[in-house]
Amino acid sequence: MDLTELRGKYIGAVAGAADEAALEEVRVAALGKKGEISALMATLGKMDPEARKAVGAHLNELKTEIDTALRARKASLADAALDERLKSEWLDVTLPGRPRPQGTIHPVSQVMDELTAIFADMGFSVAEGPQVESDWYNFDALNIPPEHPARQEHDTFFMHRAEGDNRPPHVLRTHTSPVQIRAALEHGAPIRVIAPGRVYRMDMDQTHTPMFHQVEGMAIDRDISMANLKWVLEEFCRAFFEVDKVELRFRASHFPFTEPSAEVDIRYSNVGGQLRIGEGDKWMEILGSGMMHPKVLAAGGIDPNEWQGFAFGLGIDRIAMLKYGIPDLRAFFESDLRWLRHYGFSALNLPDLPGGLSR
């Protein structure tokens, strides 16, 4: 059989294949190891060079043509099979989508967003700084003397120094007050900023963790006073705790970076295990505050003879516990998600397990 007849035989067989099984039989008969065209290719070695060159070229062309026809027919059969399947199957595109598990914002992140928005309404911008701070920004610039307990290794995480490394010490920041110094040095006065972020102290119990979150704020101007500080804190508490009446109590205290200094308590009651802010006869400490010490202003590059300001700091985790009634600070950070789900902050909306337990 010459190549023209061979071509007509297999091109016709490819076109007449009714399904993929029949098409595979044609491929094996033509191009398989024992196929007719493969057998002809095996005879090329017995031909003289000129004949081998001419016949080989024609055989390769025929092989390529049949292979192309096989692929095209296979695609055509697949399209036809899909058309038949689509005729027998249908999809209602008007049906609602299948629900997927969704998480919620972590309570600390939510509270951070809330307080940022509240202080923004009072003209405070947000400042950020490094979590690994120099000893100067974390302590010296804030008028914290060398003998202060906070500067000891049992209270602060100090960065490791190799033997012979005499650089000034660096620490994991113990508060976000260093950010205030950086902001003052960068922007000068007047200024109003808050500095929310992670801080680190060597502490661990029901109400303390080695890593927690703080927001510290400051306002510097020529006529700033404690009265301004009181108004800002009252407005914040009203907005954050979503109550109309808030009563704060300022108690004289001592902080190296403020003078005068005051710890601030908020009036509350506890009825049936539910905390109610703004009523009752109990007081709870929520933050520290005061007028910025002249040495702190000077460290921030601001002349204390022309400017004055107030500063305050509060624990974000602590006020999140107060607002959402979470009794244990460790619920925010440990791996048992039942804590967070119980207080409305499920990581995933999963069904309850038998016996009323949650995943």
Question: Model confidence over 314-358: pLDDT tens digits?
Answer: 999 888 888 877 766 665 655 556 666 666 666 554 444 344 444
229: pLDDT strictly greater than 60: yes
Token pair 């094996």 in the structure block, residue: 28
- Tell whether 241 and 325 lie within a shared domain: yes
- Tell whether 114 and 60 lie within a shared domain: no
- Tell whether 62 and 110 lie within a shared domain: no
- Tell whether 177 and 312 lie within a shared domain: yes
pLDDT at 348: 55
- Tell whether 253 and 325 lie within a shared domain: yes
- Bridge pairing between strands 125-126 and 191-200: parallel
Tens-digit pLDDT profile for residues 21-78:
888 888 888 888 888 888 887 887 788 888 878 877 888 888 888 889 889 988 998 8
3-state secondary structure of 301: coil
3-state secondary structure of 121: helix
Q: What CATH number should be reported for the domain holding residue 337? A: 3.30.930.10
Residue 174 lies in a domain: yes
- Tell whether 241 and 315 lie within a shared domain: yes
- Percent of the chain at pLDDT > 70 equals 87
Residue 304 lies in a domain: yes
For residues 237 and 94, give the distance between their C-alpha atoms in angstroms, rounded to a whole number: 47
290: left (phi over 0), alpha (psi -120 to 50) or beta: left
The partner residues of 218 in beta bridges, in order of sequence, read: 193, 311
3-state secondary structure of 309: strand
Other residues' Cβ atoms within 10 Å of the Cβ of residue 274: 8
- Tell whether 132 and 263 lie within a shared domain: yes
- Tell whether 195 and 159 lie within a shared domain: yes
In the listed set 40, 56, 89, which residue is the last one of a domain according to the structure? 89
Residue 356 lies in a domain: no
In the listed set 54, 89, 124, which residue is the last one of a domain according to the structure? 89
Residue 243 lies in a domain: yes
Instruction: Say how many domains are in the chain.
Output: 2
Residue 54 lies in a domain: yes
83: phi then psi, degrees, rounded to nearest 5: -60, -45
- Tell whether 154 and 76 lie within a shared domain: no
Residue 94 lies in a domain: no
Cis peptide before 294 (omega within 30 of 0): no
- Tell whether 62 and 133 lie within a shared domain: no
Q: What is the mean pLDDT of residues 117-143?
A: 93
Domain of residue 76 covers: 3-89
Confidence of residue 212 (pLDDT cuts 50, 70, 90): confident
Residue 352 lies in a domain: no
Structure tokens of 137?
């920004």
Structure tokens of 75?
């695609």
- Tell whether 120 and 210 lie within a shared domain: yes
- Tell whether 285 and 189 lie within a shared domain: yes
The partner residues of 172 in beta bridges, in order of sequence, read: 132
Cβ contact 42:32 at 8 Å: no
123: pLDDT strictly greater than 80: yes
Q: Which residue has the higher pLDDT, 57 or 250?
A: 250
Other residues' Cβ atoms within 10 Å of the Cβ of residue 148: 13
The binding site comprises 259
The binding site for Mg(2+) comprises 259
